[in-house]
Amino acid sequence: MSEEYLLAALRMAAGVDPVPGRVSADARAAFALRLPGGVIAAPVRVSAPPGARSATAPGTSPETGTYGTAPEGGPVMRRFTADGLTIDIEPAVVGGRLEVAGQVSPPPGPGWEVEVRTAHISKTRAPSESGHFAVSGLPPGWVSVVCHRPGLPPVSTRWLHVRA
C-alpha cells in the first residue's frame, strides 16, 4: 500500500479535486484510437542514430541507451520496429507546436501512407521514395505514428509523450 494510494483515497472520500470533465472526455474518446488488426511497433534502443532531422541526436546517450528527453535540447530519434518495418521518428516541440519528422524503412511501396496521430488531430502524409515524412502544427502531448500499407496490417508506434 503506497502512501500515494492513501492520499488518493482520502481525497476521493472527501470529494476534493475530482477528475476534470475534459480528462474524462479524452478518456472516452481514446477508444476510437484503437487500430483493429494493427501491429504495435515496440521501441528499439539506438546508440548511433542516423537522424531523420539532424545529423546527430544530442539527447541520446550511447552509454546508457537512454532516450526520452533531450537534456541538451534538440530532437531525439526514436526507433520502433514490427512486422519487418522500421519507423524512425524525431518529435520536437517548436514554438509550442509539435513537429514530427521521420522515416519508414524499407522504402515504401505504392499506396503507403504515414499517419501522425495525437489524441485529437491526425495528419496523413505520403512518404517520399526514401521513406521520409514530416508533419507540423500538432498539439504537444501524446503522439503515435501509423504506417498504412495496402494489403498489410497497419503498424503503429507505441504512444509517446512529447512536451517542450
Partner 1 sequence: MLDQAAWEELVARFDGRMWAVARAFGLSPADAADAVQGAWLRMVESLDGIRDPERIGAWLITTTRHEAVRLSRRARGEVMADHELPDVAGPDPAAAIVDADFGRHVWQRLHTLGEPCRSLLRLYVLNPDAKYAQIAIRLNLPVGSIGPTRARCLSRLRTLVQDDDA
Q: Which is nearer to partner 1, 50 or 68 (CB)?
A: 68
Cα–Cα distance, 136 to 64 (Å, whole number): 30
For partner 1, the closer of residues 67 and 133 by Cβ is 67
Q: Does 8 bind partner 1 (CB under 8 A)?
A: yes
Q: Does 97 bind partner 1 (CB under 8 A)?
A: no
- Footprint of partner 1 on residues 27-46 (CB under 8 A)? 27-28, 30-34, 40, 42-43
- Yes or no: say if 90 and 52 are a contact pair by the CB < 8 Å rule: yes
Report the distance separating Cα 123 and Cα 116, nearest Å: 5
96 scored as a contact of partner 1 (CB under 8 A): no
> Where does this chain touch partner 1 (CB under 8 A) — which range of 1-9, 46-54, 108-116, 123-131?
1-9
Please check whether residue 87 is in contact with residue 131, taking contact to mean a CB–CB distance below 8 angstroms.
no
Distance of CA 78 to the CA centre of its chain: 9
User: Which residues face 124 on adjacent strands?
Assistant: 115
What is the C-alpha to C-alpha distance for residues 112 and 36, in angstroms, rounded to an integer?
A: 18
Q: Which of 57, 67, 98, 135 binds partner 1 (CB under 8 A)?
A: 67
Whose Cβ is closer to partner 1: residue 68's or residue 107's? 68
Residue number with CB closer to partner 1 (56 or 69): 69
Report whether 78 contacts 89 (CB < 8 A).
yes
Instruction: Answer whether 141's CB lies under 8 Å from 117's CB.
Output: no
Measured from the CB atom, is 16 or 55 closer to partner 1? Answer: 16
Q: Please classify residue 118 by burial: count the beta carbons closer than 10 Å to its beta carbon, then call 0-12 exposed, 13-18 middle and 19+ buried.
A: buried
Q: How far is the CB of 17 from partner 1 (least distance, A)?
A: 5
Contact call for residue 72 and partner 1 (CB under 8 A): no
Note the residues at the interface with partner 1 (CB under 8 A): 1-14, 16-20, 22-24, 26-28, 30-34, 40, 42-43, 61, 65-69, 71, 119, 141-142, 144, 156, 158-161, 163
